[in-house]
Amino acid sequence: MPVFYLDTSALVKRYVQEKGSEVLDELFDNLATRGCGAEIGF
């Protein structure tokens, strides 16, 4: 399974339509059907 590293701008693209939003929508939709996890580090 591929690993994706995304910053907070990727989350914004989920809610604000801008360049690249459709790419991330497809990525998130595909991950949601497979199940995925997230880890946030500081």
A 10 A CB-CB count for 25 gives 13
Q: What is the total count of domains within the chain?
A: 1
Rounded to two decimals, the pTM is 0.55
pLDDT computed for residue 11 by the predictor? 80
Residue 39 lies in a domain: no
Q: What is the tens place of the pLDDT at every residue in 24-33?
A: 888 888 776 6
pLDDT tens, N- to C-terminus, the chain (42 residues): 677 778 888 888 888 998 888 988 888 887 766 666 666 666
Structural domain harbouring 2: 1-34
Q: Helix count (H) and strand count (E) of the chain? A: 2, 0
Residue 3 lies in a domain: yes
Residue 41 lies in a domain: no
Residue 12 lies in a domain: yes
pLDDT computed for residue 1 by the predictor? 64
